[in-house]
Amino acid sequence: MRKNIISCIIVLLLLLSGCQNNTPGTTTDPANTDDTLQFDAEKNAQNKYVMLQGGGFDFQETDGFFIGKTTFSDYLQYYDKASGISGVLCADPSCAHDSESCGAYTDENRSSLSYYDGKLYRVDGDGSDFRKEYLWQSDLSGMNRKKIMEIPRDEITMPYQPQQFMIHQGKLYIVGSASVVDGTQIGTRQSLLSRSLSGDEGFTTVYDEVCPEGSWVTYRFVGGYIYISVITSKDLTSFDLIVTKVDIQTNASKVVYQETGMPKAPGKLWVTEDHGLYLSGSTDEKAYLWKIENGSKREITSWPADEVKDPVVMDGIAILMTRDENKIRHIDIRDFEGKTIYSGKLFTEEIAGLGKDPNTYSIGLVGGDAEKLIFELNGEEGTKLDSKSVRYFVMLDIKDNLKATILWSSEE
């Protein structure tokens, strides 16, 4: 992702003590969280594949397919759940999949793929001017691409430095994270912008704050609301957390949880479809899964001191990964009642199609839910004189003892 430092004259009034709040709207309590009749849950952004591990992955799921790409790839790939067939996401039999004219082409430097209302959306250029980028729409086959809107360079790209694009409830959302400088102090401008897919109006600022350098922000999109979790720290010895809920229709916002002086940074917030809030974290003694209720944390489950590491919370589960003295990866998976679903080796057997032991690859968590986990594996294969870097997208079936399936690889 682009992380260019831009020099902006922005007054960092609260740089050392927290974020400088420029969020529009009021502190009015948003409408009742029971918005199921007003908003279709099928039109939510796929939170389980959004920014779980830094936000650098393009991966989406439909009823019949997984669609995405390996890191540093220029072409989208697919995996058919029913047949097990995978390949480049382009239905044109005459296409060689080697140019920007291919329906599967997408710039490797952008994290933007969204599946929404039967269509695929991505942000990309058009080959005419590298400084211009657009939101594109296509069929699930990659065909019939068309421009939906331009992302203005001077208005959006330069000041906000987009890191992620996603579609939620009929709008394009842009996550920005830009370094800003005031004298000798460096901060981070954390922003969230939106615009209707119809393009009837311009971009709206949902969230815009300047935080101390090294702040962490997580966005979760659920029905008519966006939950924004912000973690800041003065010196990395004490951490502050604030969770805000924003109504996407009115931009009215309300702080739903706040905690200061945490000894370690908590994990990324998870929000269920019925607006339940879950958070992971740790102390020197234990790692925890908490539920946030009525402005306070309630412990759901914990892990012992010899496994202290922040669990990751996603759709219905919390996972904690470790390695033993032999460098073998292990994983503990628990549900939101604290019940253990699986505890044992992450890779329970050799994976057909991999060039070597899966434990020797570096891994990145893409996302998942109570049925499956998706990882990207990256490693060097071949001989010392003829080695190459290879990446694989692998699905582990939680319902079948973490049985592994390669969805696609950088070799395809």
Q: Is the pLDDT of residue 111 over 70?
A: no
**CA dihedral (102, 172, 61, 281) positive or negative:** positive
pLDDT per residue as tens digits for the range 191-227: 999 999 998 889 999 999 998 888 899 999 999 999 9
Residue 18: predicted pLDDT: 59
User: Is residue 1 predicted with pLDDT exceeding 80?
Assistant: no
pLDDT tens profile 389-401: 999 999 999 999 9
Mean pLDDT of the chain: 87
**DSSP characters for 26-54?**
-SPPPSPS--TTTS-GGGS--GGGSSTTT
* Mean pLDDT for the stretch of residues 362-389: 90
Instruction: Report the pLDDT value the prediction gives residue 236, as an integer from 0 to 100.
Output: 84
Q: Is the pLDDT of residue 38 over 70?
A: yes
Instruction: Report the candidate in 45, 49, 69 with the shortest Cα–Cα distance to residue 172.
Output: 45
What's the one-letter identity of residue 297?
A: K
CA–CA–CA angle 304, 306, 309 (5° rounding): 80
Amino acid at 340: T
3-state secondary structure of 230: strand
CA end-to-end span of the chain:
23
The pLDDT of residue 109 is 65
Instruction: Look at residue 6 in the predicted model and tell me its pLDDT.
Output: 37
Q: Does position 7 have pLDDT exceeding 70, yes or no?
A: no
Say if residue 76's pLDDT is above 70: yes
Residue 110 has what pLDDT?
66
Q: Which residue has the higher pLDDT, 215 or 335?
A: 335
What confidence score (pLDDT) does residue 28 get?
A: 53
For the ranges 46-60, 93-107, 116-130, 269-283, the lowest mean pLDDT is seen at 46-60
Confidence (pLDDT) at 214: 81
Specify the pTM: 0.90
Mean pLDDT, rounded, for 321-350:
95
Distances (CA, A) of 374 to 60, 78, 163, 314, 398: 11, 14, 21, 12, 11
Three-state SS annotation for 143-210 = CCCEEEEEECHHHHHHHHCEEEEEEECCEEEEEEEEEEEECCEEEEEEEEEEEECCCCCCCEEEEEEE
Residue found by looking up tokens 């968590």 in the block: 365
What pLDDT is stored for residue 411 in this prediction? 80
Residue 56: the pLDDT is 60
Structure tokens at 194: 């939106």
Query: Residue 51's pLDDT band (boundaries 50, 70, 90)?
Result: low
**Residue 37: what pLDDT?**
60
pLDDT at 192: 97
